[in-house]
Amino acid sequence: ARSLAAEGAEGLEPVMLDVTRAEDIERVTRALADEGGLYGLVNNAGIYLGGALELMKPAEIRATFEVNVVGLLLLTRACLPMLRESGGRIVNISSISGLVAMPGASVYAASKHAVEAATTSLRNELAPFGVRVVAVEPGAIDTEIWRKGRERDKARQAREDEEVEALYRPLTRLVEKLNARPRGIPPEAVAEVVSEALGAEDPHNHYLVGRDAKSIALFGRLPEGVRDWVVRKKVWG
């Protein structure tokens, strides 16, 4: 927050907000209302905890949905009176995983599919009030998520049941390879799209960001049987 205040544009006022804490949501929305309301809400809070479902802990599954889905919905709900008053805009940061789900990302993809569903529903639910709701669907982005993924991979190796881990080793190795050598676009590329989604007079309903996202979206249009064959060949050989 301090670095954002130091490096940000004039008028930027960072505040600490944990979207899983009701008291944080109440505090921030009350402050916004006191300062004149809200035009744009960008739901960017999210975590990625990947891996085969059988290797994930219940707490990891719950945390993914608490941040990526429940937190998004509760914060949006709290902001709706201000957004209705301003005829504002909601931009939900989804993912290409919200459109095409790959093995090793079942929990994360499920959460982003939920974000897509919420976006579609709210787009029509809030249309009578002039509130536009947009989904931004990036592919790989060059952020700290990859370093965190590598650290989590190491921690997981130290604690997993060796017999179960061995069953999923081809998938685990593929996930580790992706974490070790990410090829993401700069975060600024996504920020530019978010800015467009907020400022355009007539925004698109969806914004795919990155070549990989656009390629995977095209892949998702193939017949399901063909997609499954390609994916299984890639993971399991």
Task: Could you list the beta-strand ranges (E) of 101-205.
Answer: 132-138
List phi, psi (to 5°) of 184: -100, 155
In whole angstroms, give the CA distance from residue 232 to residue 212: 19
Q: Which residue is catalytic, options 39, 48, 108, 168?
A: 108
Query: At 138, is the secondary structure helix, strand, or coil?
Result: strand
Whose CA is closest to 180, among 142, 208, 147, 209?
147
The H or E element containing residue 65 is helix 58-65
In whole angstroms, give the CA distance from residue 140 to residue 145: 10
Burial of 118 (0-12, 13-18, 19+ CB in 10 A): buried
136 conformational bin, left if phi > 0, alpha if psi -120 to 50, beta if neither? beta
In whole angstroms, give the CA distance from residue 149 to residue 60: 13
- CA-based diameter of the chain, in Å? 59
List phi, psi (to 5°) of 99: -110, -40
The length of the chain is 237
Whose CA is closest to 18, among 48, 60, 46?
46
Catalytic site residue 207?
no
Task: Give the catalytic positions in this structure.
Answer: 108
